[in-house]
Amino acid sequence: MKRFVALLMAAVMLSVFAACAEVPSGVEDGVLTVAMECAYAPYNWAQPDDSNGAVPIKDSALYANGYDVMTAKAICEANGWQLEIIQSEWDSLIPAVMAGNCDAVIAGQSMTSERMETVDFAGPYLYASIVCLVRKDSKFAEAKGISDLAGGTCTSQSGTIWYDPCLKQIPNANILPPQESAPAMLMALASGMVDFVCTDMPTAQGALIAYPDLKILDFSGSGDDFTVSEEEINIGISVMKGNTVLKDAINSYLSGKTADDFNALMEKAIQIQPLGE
């Protein structure tokens, strides 16, 4: 009987150890598979050729480029990996890494506690302040704080902190349904559907390349700015929950970079982004 109990306990312990086994890194084959929208300039976009160091998009005739691709390439170079890019819709990015369809998501995601419930984050790999975009001829173009945007019609991209909670902080704002992508958000503004949109500084800076009639409203230091936490403006790289090997490898590279390094690379991405983005 004692032998039976001992064997049973050993079997239970083996099951526990197996359940707690380390999550595979995903790069055992030497390839880092990264998911992104490829439609979110200057973070990432699709283009028809490999100019400016663009990378082929898996199962596509197009190539991916942008800040996220540049960052992914640098991480791969530092770790001796090859890079594979897959294109995925914004709302399917987190599910993709959870399901193991990609090793990491590098797509301009804020490192929010809500997302951290389902994935782990490496980073930050950028610090992105919150701003608004308006048309230069708008009655809101001279706004000095979010109170000056009161009563305006607005929107932003779905699944972002720009839409929720930021827009809700504007007094009496007429908040339209969210747009499915950053380009759709910008089109809503340029077409006059809304008075302004909420986004982050890199996205806004990139938007001015394609839409020179727009203006950035940056309320930093005004005392009448959006209230956001550090986690909401820290942009990170999501990996499968428990994938400490990959997370640590990415952080090892990022730890040697400064905010100035990130901003310089983003400026390069803005300069080469296609005008149509």
Does 168 fall in a domain? Answer: yes
For 42-56, the pLDDT digits (tens) are 999 999 999 999 999
Would you tell me the crossing angle of helices 201-210 and 182-190 to the nearest 10 degrees?
Answer: 60
The answer to whether residues 67 and 139 belong to one domain is: no
Last residue of a domain, one of 195, 219, 243: 219
* Residue span of the structural domain in which 35 resides: 24-128+232-272
Say how many C-beta atoms besides its own lie within 10 A of residue 261's C-beta.
Answer: 12
Does 1 fall in a domain? Answer: no
Q: What is the distance, to the nearest Å, from the Cα of residue 211 to the centroid of all Cα atoms in its chain?
A: 22
Identity of the amino acid at 89: E
The answer to whether residues 199 and 65 belong to one domain is: no
Domains contained in the chain, number: 2
Does 151 fall in a domain? Answer: yes
Q: What pLDDT, on the 0 to 100 scale, is given for residue 276?
A: 53
For 158-202, the pLDDT digits (tens) are 999 999 999 999 999 999 999 999 999 999 999 999 999 999 999
Strand 31-36 relative to strand 82-87, pairing: parallel
The answer to whether residues 211 and 196 belong to one domain is: yes
DSSP tag of 147: G
The answer to whether residues 52 and 144 belong to one domain is: no
Q: What pLDDT, on the 0 to 100 scale, is given for residue 80?
A: 98
Query: Burial level of 175, CB count in 10 A (0-12/13-18/19+)?
Result: middle
The answer to whether residues 96 and 71 belong to one domain is: yes
Does 202 fall in a domain? Answer: yes
The answer to whether residues 135 and 123 belong to one domain is: no
The answer to whether residues 83 and 162 belong to one domain is: no
Does 152 fall in a domain? Answer: yes
- Domain of 150, CATH number, reads 3.40.190.10
